[in-house]
Chains A and B, each alone.
Chain A
Amino acid sequence: MIAFQGVSVRYADAPRDAAHDVTFTTERGRMTALVGPNGSGKSTLVRALLGRQKLTAGRITIDGAPLASLARAQVARRIAVVTQREELSFPTPVSDYVALGRFPHRGAWRSAGAEDRAAVARAVELSGIGPLLERSVDTLSGGEWQRARIARALAQGGEAMVLDEPTTYLDIAHEMEAFELLSRLVREGMAVLLVSHQLNLVARFADMLVLLHDGRVAASGIPDDVMRGAVLERVYGWPLVVTRDPAVGAPALVPLRGAPRRDSTLNPSSHIP
């Protein structure tokens, strides 16, 4: 559904591309996970999808239509993005906050209709934030806040959802809930693109992994193809082994104790000339 085709991005005055020739596609009914170390270009690609970052090469398409040819509101009606950071400047009731997700449909003028209310109600139910609706967003815990943000994105009611590290502040139970919710959305036909550092979880939940390293795709494919010790060790610059999760049999990464092996044989491209 969302296709990145040879996408390159270079920030002003940067010596190299933040993303270089990145190609992958997300599909409806599939969870695609974008993984890689800090600074490998994951969030840059999300920003490019938001139209917040110009491409220096390549293009992003949505069902074949170039992103650049679509109006922002048109994109927002189809793709909801939960960004990595969001500011909370003023106290707002959670119910009002979730309803902001309807903005792409309502614009600046139209008041909420039956369709808007139904979308918000479904988002609230799916994300389980019913008990929080009367609270003010500035009183929520980190985990509750993330769920409220996912609810707002759900209220947007698109066919695709992009989440940039959505489980960062969540404990195990809330993190699993979030992943289960995403996989339910995928089963219902949504395309989910997830940026995550939780390799072991995405190896269990995602249909496809795209591993980024220094802005380039180091590996992509089904989890079993990407979760390989040699590749991950080179990309992350830390000794590790990949084993099998004893409970569910998915590939699982175990970082080893000891000094980081940031030598030339392991991680040649991390050297700064």
Chain B
Amino acid sequence: MSRRRGIWWAAAIVLAALAVASIGLGSVHIAPAAVLSALAGAGDPGTVTIVRVLRLPRVAMAILLGAGLGMSGASLQGVMRNPLAEPYLLGVSGGAAVGAVIAVLVGAPAVLVPIAAFIGAVLAVAVAFFVAHATPGGGDVRVLLMAGVIVGAFANAAIMLLLANADPAAMRGALWWMMGSVAAATWAQNGWLAFYVLAGGALLVAWAREIDILTLGEDAAASLGLDADRASRRVYLMASLVAAATVAAAGLVGFVGLVVPHIARRMGASASRAVILGSALIGAALVVGSDLIARTALPPAELPLGAVTAVIGVPFFLIQLRRLR
């Protein structure tokens, strides 16, 4: 028990260290001690501005983004009884991308792009959900999973059609959005992202015991007195909503929702509550670390965050696959 707890404390310390490093490293290097005092508002005013105005919102968004995607993925894997389930598989990313691409192509102001993405994500999830529930096997999570995959495939086709004849500037803008980034983070964005991640995450944690039951299948859930259809529906919708909020804030940051719950399980989490909370912590660390690499690997250029998380996530996931029985 204490050893298990030690692992989670270590993960929290790694997250804190990555956050401090991420705030300190960049075109102007700031020592960790100076970062900490600047966070408290003390020290050189220029440093305080860099830390609190320029870099902290970005790190805060990376933390919220990673935590949200991690919790969403952990909940969906449980409720879908599928270790490959993740929010992006279920149409969230495709729908959000269609919304964002349309906004970029019609020349909407940048502030509207996240809203369009959010609407696109919610619409895609709603379509997948209603299509799945219109079939005879309505509540079956496998049908839901398939519906989500198909909606996602349709969204990809729509994006290609939209971008095929777009002008290069708009195309580049749309492409950058799809590759994910926390570079443009503001406190206003962080405010509403925090609302979705914290409130949605709290609900998912509260429903964790139901998710434990749902992993046994619908019949077993019914034998334990749980209405499997209703319980899995609300977890599915809440997890999708949290993922939609992250996508609206930062574009598509892939593989976090898929990989992070597996890391949490390897670190000893087995009950859903532990997997969800652990995924929040590890997801945050993964995205903060990936953003640090994205910013500092090839200065002054920035790598797309979504590509970095995928480059880190894919090899890890392949190693995981080998261990699956």
Contact = CB atoms under 8 A, between A and B. Distances in A.
B325 A87 contact: no
A87 B78 CA distance: 12
Interface stretch (A67-75, A120-128, A262-270): A67-75
A104 B77 CA distance: 23
B225 A100 contact: no
Interface in B265-310: 265, 270-271
B265 A89 contact: no
A47 B221 CA distance: 12
A145 interface: no
Given A75-B225, A76-B225, A50 B270 contact: no
Residue among A90, A103, A153 with max Cβ neighbours from chain B (10 Å): A90
Contact of A108 (B77, B82, B209, B220): B209
A74 to B, nearest CB: 7
B13 interface: no
Given A76-B224, A103-B226, A89 B215 contact: yes
Given A12-B136, A52-B222, A101-B224, A86 B265 contact: no
B252 interface: no
B318 interface: no
Contact of B81 (A77, A84, A89, A101): A89
Given A47-B219, A90-B270, A91-B270, A100 B213 contact: yes
B206 interface: yes
Most buried by A among B219, B220, B223, B224: B223
A103 B225 contact: yes
A73 B215 contact: no
Q: How large is the interface on B (under 10, 10 to 19, 20 to 34, 35 or more residues)?
A: 20 to 34
A96 interface: yes
Interface in B207-266: 207, 209-210, 212-213, 215-220, 222-227, 265
B212 A100 contact: yes
Interface residues of A, number: 39
A52 B218 contact: yes
Contacts of A88: 216
B313 interface: no
A83 interface: yes
A73 B225 contact: yes
Nearest to B269: A90
B221 to A, nearest CB: 9
Interface string A10-53: 00100000000000000000000000000000000001001110
Contact of A83 (B77, B219, B271): B219
A86 B222 CA distance: 11
Contacts of A101: 224
A50 B213 contact: no
Interface string A135-160: 01010000000000000010010000
Given A108-B206, A108-B207, A109-B206, A90 B215 contact: yes
A94 to B, nearest CB: 11
Most buried by B among A83, A85, A88, A104: A83
B32 interface: no
A96 B208 CA distance: 14
Given A87-B81, A89-B82, A90-B78, A72 B209 contact: no
A52 B223 CA distance: 10
A237 interface: no
A93 interface: yes
A81 interface: yes
Given A74-B225, A156-B224, A50 B219 contact: yes
A51 B229 CA distance: 12
Interface string A55-75: 000000000000000011111
Contacts of B220: 83, 86-87
Nearest to B216: A86
Given A93-B270, A108-B207, A72 B222 contact: yes
Contacts of A47: 219
Given A83-B219, A87-B216, A87-B217, A92 B270 contact: yes
A161 to B, nearest CB: 10
B133 to A, nearest CB: 15
Given A73-B226, A86-B220, 5 more contacts: A52-B218, A81-B219, A84-B219, A89-B83, A92-B212
Interface of A: 12, 47, 50-52, 71-77, 80-93, 96, 100-101, 103-104, 106-109, 136, 138, 153, 156
